[in-house]
Amino acid sequence: MGPAPRNYLAACGDGDLRYSSYDVLVIGGGIAGLTAAVGAARRWNVAMLTKAGLENTTTFLAQGGVAAAMGPFDSPELHFADTLEAGAGLCDEEAVRLLVEEGPERVRELEHLGTRFDRRAGELVLASEGAHSVPRVVRAGGDATGSVIGSALIQALISGSRVEVHEGEFVLDLLIADGRCVGALSLGPEGELTVSLARAVVLATGGAGQIYANTTNPIVATGDGHAMAWRAGAVMRDLEFMQFHPTALHSDENPTLLLTEALRGEGAWLVDGAGRRFMEGVHPLAELAPRDVVVRRMKEVMVRDGVDHVELDATHLACDFLRERFPTVHGGLTERGFDLCRERIPVSPASHYYIGGVVTDLWGRTSVPGLYAAGEVSSTGVHGANRLASNSLLEGLVFGDRVVRDLDRLLERAEPSVRKVKLDLPTESRRGNDQAATAAATQRLRLEMSRNGGIVRSRESLQQALGHLAELEAELQPPGCAATEFEFYNLLTIARLLLVAAGIREESRGVHLRSDFPERDNEDWQRHVRARLGWDPEVVAE
């Protein structure tokens, strides 16, 4: 595949550049970025750049909760086994070990910081979700866990730490000097360009669910961090693995409303148009089977019945309970004219979590010196080929904290502060594409990915998608200097990488389903697909 031109994001002319300098620059303000920024600011001079408001993150939309072995019948050992089982043979066991062992302490710290997790008679209430062998999911505000945690962390960021926060700052690219990441170039709300130099950069930009037409991810989830890490030459991994959530409201909204897996944990059923449960007999856990198993069966039922959705049935559960336990879902459905208590709700799978990302070691260090990655943009190896439900907030907490601990060691060794960097920006100011053309191209890309690069793929469909994306790009002018254009090119970069990686993995495993290779093939494919700009070929099976 053709790489995106290295400097395409900077065709903004060579007007006045503003310079700032920090010890640590955090890009992104979800749970991983907030954890890293609040922790690092205890000792260091930290800035955070977010392209939207601090509350406009995937973290804020998280409903289910944080998986952590904190219950009387649970143990890190059990959580470890469940994570590996869900991960379909590709988890990094060392990383999973750290996740499950350090997780409970990170949850307790969040509570000390002011997060009010749901408790009954003083004990944490633990929810059941898919593929967990015991109730393990710590929750807050019923199904509002992400916003409760996010708000507590933002409070700590704003009131208790000295982090310089810049909202509405779109990072165009990472700055690399002598092979080291030394900061980032960003476009501010008034169109001003800023060079933020830093001794270390933490990439925490979240996911890329917006490459598909149906997604639970907010519109900001355009894979910017993935794409800028790619352009900076970081090693990437598992880019073929996009997790689809089984129960998103079947609608044209962007994003569409998530109907948390915890609903099924409380007894809601998945049924076909005739009201028949279809997960019984497919897996011993029925509706609470691992997500990939549920999505696969849903697709079979939809194809069998010639429909584009199935239904979630909670009508046998008490209405007072549903209203109180699931205020976000209940309220969201009511706003849209649905009655969770009295009717079956149309649902279909929607892109939800990008497993693929920037490879890190156990301390969040990427292959580019000076660059860390944490949260969804990273590939720590804990999710394998299918993430266990509610392990992602946990990963953001655990690895966000590990980044902080490593930063302390790195910065103590007094790496020299960077004062100047040769930027080599193009001086031209390109006109680019108007907003309507960019929006239309973005929508075409998303539809194409859903049609030919989505839940079920084949060599033919992947090649078609690559061809259509090339045609789409050829119809556009090279980008000018607008955030929406950069988002489109970031989506395009990641969509292509996903398609190429998906074409290389000739088997079906976890969230990756190939109609032309329907079986899991441990003999040939118990391995990862990696990618790096400049390798030949750029995307390759290990």
| Pairwise CA distance, residues 208 & 269, whole Å | 29
**In Å, how far are 50, 130, 181, 194, 266 from 170, measured between CA atoms?**
7, 36, 18, 10, 40
63, 186, 217, 442: residue in contact with ligand SIN (rule CB under 6 A): 63
Omega before 135 within 30 of 0, i.e. cis: no
Give me the long-range contacts of 77-83 (CB less than 8 A, separation at least 24): 78/133, 78/134, 79/103, 79/136, 81/133, 82/131, 82/132, 82/133, 82/136, 82/388, 83/382, 83/384, 83/388, 83/391
Mark the segment that binds ligand SIN (CB under 6 A) among 166-174, 219-227, 257-265, 404-412: 257-265
**Burial (CB count within 10 angstroms: exposed 0-12, middle 13-18, buried 19+), residue 16:** exposed
Of 63 and 147, CB closest to ligand SIN: 63
CB of 258 to ligand SIN, least distance (A): 6
358 binds ligand SIN (CB under 6 A): no
CB of 270 to ligand SIN, least distance (A): 13
Of 125 and 262, CB closest to ligand SIN: 262
DSSP readout, 388-439? PTTHHHHHHHHHHHHHHHHHHHHHHTTPPPP----------B-----HHHHH
DSSP 8-state assignment for residue 373:
E
392 binds ligand SIN (CB under 6 A): yes
260, 433, 450, 452: residue in contact with ligand SIN (rule CB under 6 A): 260
169, 261, 448, 507: residue in contact with ligand SIN (rule CB under 6 A): 261
CB of 245 to ligand SIN, least distance (A): 6
In three-state secondary structure terms, 475 is helix
Q: How many helices (H) and strands (E) does the chain have?
A: 15, 23
30 binds ligand SIN (CB under 6 A): no
- Give the residue nearest to ligand SIN (CB): 64
Mark the segment that binds ligand SIN (CB under 6 A) among 23-31, 71-79, 84-92, 254-262: 254-262
Of 82 and 448, CB closest to ligand SIN: 82
Omega before 537 within 30 of 0, i.e. cis: yes
238 binds ligand SIN (CB under 6 A): no
Q: Give the interface size with ligand SIN as a residue count (CB under 6 A).
A: 10
Of the candidates 139, 264, 291, 325, the residue annotated as catalytic is: 291
Of 325 and 352, CB closest to ligand SIN: 352
531 binds ligand SIN (CB under 6 A): no
Three-state SS annotation for 396-408: HHHHHHHHHHHHH
Mark the segment that binds ligand SIN (CB under 6 A) among 147-155, 313-321, 385-393, 449-457: 385-393
Mark the segment that binds ligand SIN (CB under 6 A) among 73-81, 173-181, 260-268, 523-531: 260-268
Mark the segment that binds ligand SIN (CB under 6 A) among 14-22, 268-276, 388-396, 478-486: 388-396
- Rounded to 5 degrees, φ, ψ at 523 are -65, -45
CB of 266 to ligand SIN, least distance (A): 12
- Residue 526's nearest CA partner among 93, 94, 91 is 91
DSSP readout, 261-328? HHHHHTT-EEE-TTS-B-STTTSTTGGGS-HHHHHHHHHHHHHHHT-S-EEEE-TTS-HHHHHHH-HH
64 binds ligand SIN (CB under 6 A): yes
- Residue 448's nearest CA partner among 432, 430, 472 is 472
Exposure pattern of 304-322 as b/e (b: 16+ CB <10 Å)? eeeeebbbbbbbebeeeeb
265 binds ligand SIN (CB under 6 A): no
21, 194, 379, 390: residue in contact with ligand SIN (rule CB under 6 A): 390
156, 38 Cβ separation under 8 angstroms: yes
Active site residue 43: no
Element (H, E) at 65: none
Mark the segment that binds ligand SIN (CB under 6 A) among 101-109, 199-207, 386-394, 464-472: 386-394
| Pairwise CA distance, residues 366 & 372, whole Å | 5
CB of 200 to ligand SIN, least distance (A): 29
Tell the residue number behind the tokens 């049924």, with chain if given.
271
Of 197 and 398, CB closest to ligand SIN: 398
The interface mask with ligand SIN, positions 73-102, x = CB under 6 A, is: ------------------------------
Of 137 and 171, CB closest to ligand SIN: 137
Which stretches of 65-172 are DSSP H helices?
76-86, 93-112, 145-155
CB of 331 to ligand SIN, least distance (A): 15
Token representation of residue 110: 């969040």
389 binds ligand SIN (CB under 6 A): yes
Token representation of residue 244: 């689809």
Mark the segment that binds ligand SIN (CB under 6 A) among 44-52, 148-156, 259-267, 466-474: 259-267
CB of 265 to ligand SIN, least distance (A): 9
Which amino acid is present at 235?
Answer: V
What pairs with residue 357 in β-bridges? 237
CB of 60 to ligand SIN, least distance (A): 13
Active site residues: 291
- Binding footprint of ligand SIN on the chain (CB under 6 A): 63-64, 260-262, 352-353, 389-390, 392
